[in-house]
Chain A
Amino acid sequence: MNADVKIKDSIDRGTVDSVRALEADRYKYGFDSDIDQEFAPKGLNADIVRFISEKKNEPEWLLGLRLQAYERWLEMEEPTWANTDYPEIDFQDMYYYASPVKKEGPKSLDEVDPDILAVYNRLGISLKEQEVLAGVQGAPKVAVDAVFDSVSVVTTFKKELAKQGVIFCSFSEAVQDHPDLVRRYMGSVVPMSDNYYATLNNAVFSDGSFVYIPPGVRCPMELSTYFRMNAQGTGQFERTLIIADKDSYVSYLEGCTAPMRDENQLHAAIVEIVALEGAEVKYSTVQNWWPGDSEGKGGVYNFVTKRADCRGANSKVSWTQVETGSAVTWKYPSCILRGDNSQGEFYSIAITNGCQQADTGTKMIHLGENTRSRIISKGISAGRSNQTYRGLVSSHKKARGARNFTQCDSLLIGDQCGAHTVPYVESNTASTQFEHEATTSRLSDDRLFYCRQRGLSEEDAVALLVNGFCREVLQELPMEFAVEAQNLVAISLEGSVG
């Protein structure tokens, strides 16, 4: 934090120190790794799109889709409505494909380049399933798909998951091995030309994860994808597709980091989730891309389209995100609540520091009867950063009995940052009940009174309630991520504004 940023007296030392600990120049994942990689030629044109498709040995229909998306993208304009300010991106000045040079032979953990394994070890990501299978103490049982720049380098526990019928593999493998599933569901939640960055992703997407949970199966372990952007001058355009069939359950985790560089790197991903009748998907993200240095030099542009379609009755999708990285974030994980009685949840903690900019939020679109959604968003701005919560809650005419509760609180630390709230609420039927509030005191009037009745001072009571509430959001994260997230969010919330 700059010395010239004036800190309010009322904010305690611990808070300030915690924020300092998150300072851009203390980014512990910013190391560079010298891995032998091959690249597509720099720039973007139809030949590059064909190059990527050929590298992945894709069927004709997928190449056709990519080329169609590329043509559409050329006609589109980059959106400017977000509360962000960054120099124009030169889409011809980056690599759209970078892959570690492949060794010949079967793809197993033993065959993975030890240098890449060393990178993941350094990031604290265990790719060693034998330790877990052998019962090594402390080894978490999480299946990991490790995506390194444009390719998935390894996916663990595939065999064990296959015993239950669960498909967990890289997107490229899914295209080869499960083309029917991919063709049926890909683009059914996020249409090809949904928005500028999604269309770009459709043209040049590289790798990502594919998950299919068969009917009635509760996925026996957490599934996780860890994205690492390593190569210089490269954009990452991953694609994730999760299909939860009837009455299934899966918890999916996503983590991402990048080396510290002076350049801005682009990350434009698509995540699609389909939840069929009675299915439940829990999607958690700890987004920790390189945020740039304290002067705003470098950092990742994180322009992501994430959407879930609660297609079946009684289905549920829960998004939990801890956003601490990226120079610019543009991200609105959403739920289309199509099935009757379906539920959508969005829990978010976003921290911006240095010169970071985040315009993030969610959309809850109620189409089915008795659909319910809940949005809890906590934003903390420090340094010279700016943060915006932007959300949409809407109900269709047939969405009788729809309910939404939204709460978004923001905290400003220092006098040079900004916190903004832009909620859109659209109701089309009288039987909906939408509530939106953006103040801690409104949330806790009754509880404050209760606490004060029991002898707590007002300050202690507020601290107790807000900390308790924040912990509740963190508890939405699976245990594997909770510790990392808690370290990132070790900031006491005080003096909140809406």
Chain B
Amino acid sequence: MIHMQPDAVISHFPHKRMEAWKWTDLRMSVSEEHMGLTRAVTPRLTLPDGVSCSPGNRHHGSSGVMPTLAAGFAPVCWNIRVPTGLNVQGPLRIDNLSGGHACMFIRVDKGASLDIEEYHQGPDRRFSNMDLQVHLAEGSRLRRVVVQNDPGNAVRVATACIAAEKHSILEQYMLSFGGALSRLETRLYSEGEGIEATMNGAYLLDGRRHTDMTGHVEIAGSHCTVRQSVKGVVTDKSRGVFQGKFHVKQAAQHTDARMRHDALMLSDTTEVRARPELEIYADDVACAHGNTIGALDENVLFYMRQRGIPQARSRSMLTEAFVAEAFDDLDDAASKQSLLTRVQEWLA
């Protein structure tokens, strides 16, 4: 445990002169009035049968200032374990992640399978910082569904650091509605061969909200498949940030990795920033990235209006279809419907 005054904590925060945070100036977005800067928060965990949880020490160090601060302020790291071969029925639900620092470690043992639902939402003017470490053992599977829905004056940083052994599967779907600032960062380290990862997400922002979806995927084993697709919708004076990086090491031959970011700007005062990055050292790979930023297609809107659909409805339908694509591959119907309902509510 460390003891610091709020202003001292803020002075350690990343800022826009740091390349990885150039579009997400955390230091400028937080004030001493934000609650939770110097305290820990205890996550509320709803454990399905067969999953154990115990307080303990942090397992391995996630790099970066924010995970280090989380580990420093949280007195314990919550260690969650799924035993070998267990196919867990029902999701592990994690909430109460607002107003402080939290530290968790999840280990999914060999051949086991787990679904997580994370809810990042809380009251006004809270600062929240979560460090989640995950270890996926050989042949295990993890599905992570994240919903972030904070008030417009809340600041949140959630960092997940996932180490995957061979033939493990990661499915991740994120839906963010932003805040004064929110950064959802995922770092995936593929340490073995044949790993499959899907890292999709969507952000829907209005007012002066800001969301940063950052992903860093390091591939060290061969025959890995990575799919990343992030959709963004911004309106009013909001700002959407996407940063993605695939780092394909020399041994990672036959990697098939694709990254996409598409953003819809619904008003002239919005901002979108994107950096889809590839760093490739293996020659027999198929890696790609794509990025598009623009407004709704006027021709399509005209077509819909010709068929008697009112303009507002047309825009809403097109936007929903655009966002929904990020969740197409989610094969849990209930989770998918829950995410889509939230999207529809935002559009309404």
Contact = CB atoms under 8 A, between A and B. Distances in A.
Interface of A: 8, 10, 81, 397, 400, 410, 412-439, 441-442, 495, 497-498
A358 to B, nearest CB: 14
Contacts of B92: none
Given A81-B19, A497-B287, A498-B289, A418 B295 contact: no
B250 A415 contact: yes
Contact of A420 (B265, B270, B278): B278
A424 B275 contact: yes
Contacts of A429: 265, 268
A418 B281 contact: yes
Contacts of A497: 278, 280, 285-288
B267 interface: yes
Contact of A433 (B269, B285, B293): B293
A459 to B, nearest CB: 14
Interface in B292-324: 292-295
Interface in B270-291: 270-291
Interface residues of B, number: 35
B272 A414 contact: no
Given A415-B282, A418-B279, A434-B292, A428 B271 contact: yes
Contact of B280 (A413, A418, A431): A418
Given A420-B278, A425-B274, A429-B265, A435 B289 contact: no
B116 interface: no
Contacts of A428: 271
Best-buried of A410, A417, A425, A441 by chain B (most CB within 10 Å) = A425
B285 A421 contact: no
Nearest to A431: B295
13 contacts: A410-B280, A415-B250, A418-B281, A433-B293, A433-B295, A435-B291, A436-B292, A437-B290, A438-B289, A439-B286, A495-B284, A497-B280, A497-B285
A244 B243 CA distance: 39
Nearest to B283: A412
Contacts of B268: 397, 400, 429-431
A433 B296 CA distance: 10
Contacts of B263: 427
Contacts of A415: 250, 282-283
Given A397-B269, A436-B291, 13 more contacts: A10-B284, A81-B19, A421-B278, A423-B276, A425-B273, A426-B274, A427-B273, A430-B266, A430-B295, A435-B291, A436-B289, A495-B284, A498-B278
A434 B288 CA distance: 17
Given A436-B290, A437-B290, A425 B275 contact: yes
A409 B334 CA distance: 40
B278 A434 contact: no
A498 B283 contact: no
B254 to A, nearest CB: 11
Given A438-B278, A495-B283, A426 B273 contact: yes
Contacts of B289: 421, 436-439, 498
Nearest to B240: A427
Nearest to A433: B294
Contacts of B272: 425-427
B291 A430 contact: no
A8 B253 CA distance: 11
B280 A419 contact: yes
A437 B19 CA distance: 23
Contacts of A426: 271-274
Nearest to A10: B284
B252 to A, nearest CB: 11
Q: Which 5 A-B pairs rank lowest in CB-CB distance, beginning with the nearest?
A: A439-B288, A430-B265, A412-B283, A436-B291, A433-B294
A417 B283 CA distance: 8
A114 B73 CA distance: 76
A438 B294 contact: no
Nearest to A497: B287
Contacts of B276: 421, 423, 436, 438
Contacts of B265: 427, 429-430, 432
Contacts of B273: 424-427
B162 to A, nearest CB: 23
A8 B290 CA distance: 26
A8 B293 contact: no
A418 B280 CA distance: 5
B278 A442 contact: no
B292 A8 contact: no
B337 to A, nearest CB: 30
B253 to A, nearest CB: 8
A415 B19 CA distance: 29
B293 A432 contact: yes
A190 B293 CA distance: 29
Interface string B15-27: 0000100000000
B299 to A, nearest CB: 13
A151 to B, nearest CB: 40
B283 A413 contact: yes
Interface in B71-130: none
A434 B280 contact: no
A377 B268 CA distance: 30
A438 B284 contact: no
Contacts of A442: 288, 290
A423 B275 contact: yes
B283 to A, nearest CB: 4
Contacts of B293: 425, 427, 432-434
A398 to B, nearest CB: 10
Contacts of A431: 268, 295
Given A442-B288, A498-B289, A430 B283 contact: no
A204 B284 CA distance: 46
B24 to A, nearest CB: 13
